[in-house]
Amino acid sequence: MSDNASLQPEDHAPLVRAAAAFDPAAAFGKIVAALALALFLSLTLAFAGAFVAHADVPDPRNCVADSNLVASPGGGFAYTVLLRDAANQPLPGATVVLDFTTAPGIVLCADQDVDHDGRIFATTNAIGSATFYVKAGGNSSGRVTVGTALDVVVRARPRTTDFDGDLDVDGADRTALAGMVGTSGPAGDFDKNGIVNAADQALFEQRFGNNCTLTPTLPETWGRVKDLYR
């Protein structure tokens, strides 16, 4: 005789009660809840991992760069880019790229663009800052792409003291600037205030005669000395 046949009716009572207590809908709900919790935890870990992985990547929302860029064949105009990450922390040791291929008509001096790819680079310091003194001439209606190899911080409007792009600042450029006085730029607006005037002519004259190998000697004022030691 089998074991099942030997069971008495009272021996089946626990099985009957368990079967009666089983609720398929409740069990299904628990399974769904468990799966939802597992999915939530997986997504949380994925987002956390992505944040950690990108903590040292520039976040354009927190980075700072001027939307106007001034250049001269002899340099002399500072252009500073500040890189910060998603937590608004500075990024030291990062490479900043100024890409002039998106601003056709701007000609870079060979000593800053040795491979002639239309881009110049700088490395950020301890506070995530990189300063360029772009040596270039020419004119363009395009914009310089400012950022890193992967991220764009700003697209800056360029203007130079060398209007004809022959990489020297001479009488032809002086005449061209005189014809721009009273206009809104951007060409000729070296102080970036929205109008070409005597102040821009003064900045031009400080760089008159310079070229890719000759850098102008700027007058030292007390304000300029303070800027150097800030």
Tokens of 136: 């270039």
- Would you say 209 and 170 are in contact if contact means Cβ atoms under 8 Å apart? yes
What pLDDT is recorded for position 3? 54
- Would you say 84 and 91 are in contact if contact means Cβ atoms under 8 Å apart? yes
Which three-class secondary structure state does DSSP give residue 9?
Answer: helix
pLDDT for residue 50 is more than 60: no
What pLDDT is recorded for position 5? 52
Whole-number average pLDDT of the chain: 84
pTM over 0.75: no
Which three-class secondary structure state does DSSP give residue 51?
Answer: helix
pLDDT for residue 141 is more than 80: yes
pLDDT for residue 161 is more than 50: yes
pLDDT in tens, 168-202: 999 999 999 999 999 999 999 999 999 999 999 99
pLDDT for residue 23 is more than 80: no
- What is the widest separation between alpha-carbon atoms in the chain? 120
Give the residue, 227 or 141, on which the prediction is more confident: 141
What pLDDT is recorded for position 53? 39
Min mean pLDDT across 18-22, 99-103, 111-115, 206-210 is at 18-22
Count of Cβ atoms closer than 10 Å to residue 214 Cβ: 13
Q: Would the CA dihedral through 54, 57, 59, 62 be positive or negative?
A: positive
Domain spans in the chain, listed from the N-terminal domain onward: 13-53, 64-228
Backbone φ, ψ for residue 168 (5° rounding): -145, 155
Contacts of 69 (CB under 8 A, 6+ apart): 79, 98, 134, 144, 146, 156, 157, 158, 159
What is the residue-wise DSSP string for 162-209?
-TTSSSB--HHHHHHHHTTTTS--STT-TT-SSS--HHHHHHHHHTTT
Min mean pLDDT across 11-15, 97-101, 132-136 is at 11-15
